[in-house]
Amino acid sequence: MRKFLFLFALLFCSCTNTNAKVVVGAEQTEKYLPQLEGKRVAVLANHTAMVGEQHLVDMLVAQGVNLVGIVSPEHGFRGTADAGEKVASSVDSRTGVPIWSLYSAKGRNLTDEQMSSFDVMVVDMQDVGLRFYTYYITMLDVIGRCADCERKVIVLDRPNPNGMYVDGPILDMRYKSGVGALPIPVVHGLTMGEIATMAIGEGWCKKADVEVVTCKGYTHQSRYIVPIAPSPNLKSQHAIYLYPSTCLFEGTACSLGRGTDAPFEMYGHPQMTGCNYSFTPRSVAGAKNPPLKDQLCYGVDLRDIDDEKIIAEGFNLEYVIDAYRRTNLGEEFFTRFFELLVGVDYIRPMIMEGKTASQIRSRWQPELENYKLLRRKYLLYEE
């Protein structure tokens, strides 16, 4: 695992010093450790909760904090499980602290017994700023439980690597699901601390005692390079930038490259025509049964697109439109999951009617402008 993190850090940071002046919330121990003295503490965290070279859990135990439980989100505490894979509760081998999995077969809420065992919940996870990325949903669920039981929550904030813009349709709450919990756009432009503040402020989440330890040296125009892969199939910064647009292939008959060395950086299907690129998804760690496993897919490789071009184009429907036209699958191209990802019912029919990406974009633009105004009320960092 340590070798993997080292290689990942080299891949992400070798060509930039973007992060040099950013101090994440977890590193500002003087702001939260005093509040944990004499308290029973639980943490909602995963493998990304690093304090320098040390994991938050190890650091808290070393500091003598009475750590009674680790709450783990999707992909598990170690961040190695497949998307949506059930992960059983267990015990952290290094510290002996119980791990309470919210992606186990027993449900996704903390039990009354678990809630009664702690006084303060500390949250620390690296998010990527997308409505369908589940870490913020897990955080809000935990905040809701803490509100019910009058437990304090301390969010150790981290930068949003897609926080420099806001784009996409606002979720129609008829499509609220495990991949979309709030009436926000696909690319919401908020950190975890900001989204917690907004959810409480707008009444989307139960009002709890939540404190955010903000990052130093970060603005929403920072190009923050995440030092650790936040989930098994987001293997590069380039994939994180493409993720808002290529994740939509999860709701189609196509592959987005799960089971290859560059998931979310390509798309394809055995019936795609006019392609000069091909790939074959295989069963690999983090993608044990990828879509179109062992089938030769013809498609498009997105790895050479410039990062700044991806950011400038924003939430881009052109990839899905291209695949829809070239596979010639008609209605069979889409699954019901597509609506859960885009969050509205008009994008699928507009694609099938032959509308362009810019024509579809104009449909969500008025609501998006209203959201941008709302968002400004809750920003903890400069735009």
In a domain, 260, yes or no: yes
- 45 and 186 co-located in one domain: yes
CATH of residue 32: 3.40.50.12170
- 342 and 196 co-located in one domain: no
In a domain, 50, yes or no: yes
User: Domain boundary residue among 179, 213, 247?
Assistant: 213
- 188 and 106 co-located in one domain: yes
In a domain, 375, yes or no: no
In a domain, 17, yes or no: no
Q: Which of 173, 216, 167, 170 is nearest to 193 (CA)?
A: 216
- 206 and 95 co-located in one domain: yes
In a domain, 116, yes or no: yes
Instruction: Determine the pLDDT at residue 11.
Output: 47
Q: Residue 299 corresponds to which tokens in the numbers above? A: 């498609």
- 325 and 253 co-located in one domain: yes
- 195 and 320 co-located in one domain: no
Q: Which of 33, 37, 103, 102 is nearest to 69 (CA)?
A: 102
Domain count, the chain: 2
Instruction: Determine the pLDDT at residue 287.
Output: 92
- 44 and 77 co-located in one domain: yes
In a domain, 148, yes or no: yes
Please give the model's pTM, rounded to 2 decimal places: 0.92
In a domain, 104, yes or no: yes
Instruction: Determine the pLDDT at residue 82.
Output: 55
CA distances from 179 to 1, 227, 228, 321 (A): 28, 24, 22, 22
In a domain, 53, yes or no: yes
CB 251 within 8 A of CB 83: no
Residue-by-residue pLDDT tens, the chain, 383 positions: 433 443 444 444 434 446 879 999 999 999 999 999 999 999 999 999 999 999 999 999 999 999 999 999 876 686 555 555 565 677 888 889 999 988 875 667 899 999 999 999 999 999 999 999 999 999 999 999 999 999 999 999 999 999 999 999 999 999 999 999 999 999 999 999 999 999 999 999 999 999 999 999 999 999 999 999 999 899 999 999 999 999 999 999 999 999 999 999 999 999 999 999 999 999 998 899 999 999 999 999 999 999 999 999 999 999 999 999 999 999 999 999 999 999 999 999 999 999 999 999 999 999 999 999 999 999 999 99
Q: Which structural domain range is residue 318 located in?
A: 237-352
